Amino acid sequence: MTNKTSLEMLEDGVAVITLDDGKVNAMSTEMLTEIGSQLDKAAEEGEITVLAGREGIFSAGFDMNVLSGGPEERKAMVASGVKLIEKMLTHPQPIIVACTGHAYPMGAFLMLSADIRFGASGDWRIGLNEVAIKLTVPHFALALARHRLTPPAFARITTAAMFDPETACSSGYLDQVLPPSKVKARALETAKALVTQLDKQSYIGTKTRINGPVLAAVREGARKDGLID
């Protein structure tokens, strides 16, 4: 395990995963795998999880060095992203995102896979900008976006729209926008409240019913993208 992420188990049934590669939290295969491993540890302990970025950045998305590299490395990275999306959609406890700044794909995909999303106000941009960087949006990503975003926001994917936090909130990327100093605190406060508010089995059953269709669509999209068999 490298230091691209850290996991802190709090005493009150809450786990905090912090993304911090010292730069822009580029989602390499290594970082995606780390996040998945941290979520597995949180699940083993039955912890509600807060997934937070570093100050000013949640994630700049997939590692561009890998995207512009060889096809096998690129495929492995994107497939790791799909695996993490699936893990989040089926995670047995709520995942709450504290979006601390910019969120480009794959960062935006993680937000769309979470249960609750809080975002920091400010001059940040959130969205799916693949078309602007000479990429066709993958089928799996469109399936996830269709499930979470408003129809107008979904339509803007074709023009690589990147939204400010308030517009991202009304578009479906976020649930609430707060001052930067309060984002992580609100996420923790919400997580602690859910520890006593939710019945675990009812949560799992309801999440399975809600996320079942999008999970199937994501997997079918990944097959079309040639990422899984």
Provide the pLDDT for residue 5: 87
3-state class (DSSP) for residue 7: strand
In the predicted model, what is the mean pLDDT of the chain? 96
- Cβ neighbours, 10 Å, residue 107: 26
Q: Which range has the worst mean pLDDT, 3-7, 19-23, 41-45, 74-78?
A: 3-7
Q: Which residue has the tokens 């930067």?
A: 180
Provide the pLDDT for residue 12: 86
Assign domain 5-224 to its CATH superfamily.
Answer: 2-enoyl-CoA Hydratase; Chain A, domain 1 (3.90.226.10)
pLDDT tens-digit profile of 87-110? Answer: 999 999 999 999 999 999 999 999
Cβ–Cβ under 8 Å, residues 178 and 184:
no
For the chain, what percent of residues have pLDDT higher than 70?
Answer: 99
Please state, in angstroms and rounded to a whole number, the distance separating the CA atoms of residues 91 and 114.
9
pLDDT tens-digit profile of 106-142? Answer: 999 999 999 999 999 999 999 999 999 999 999 999 9
Confidence category of residue 1, pLDDT binned at 50, 70, 90: very low
Q: What is the mean pLDDT of residues 212-228?
A: 97
3-state class (DSSP) for residue 212: helix
3: pLDDT strictly greater than 80: no
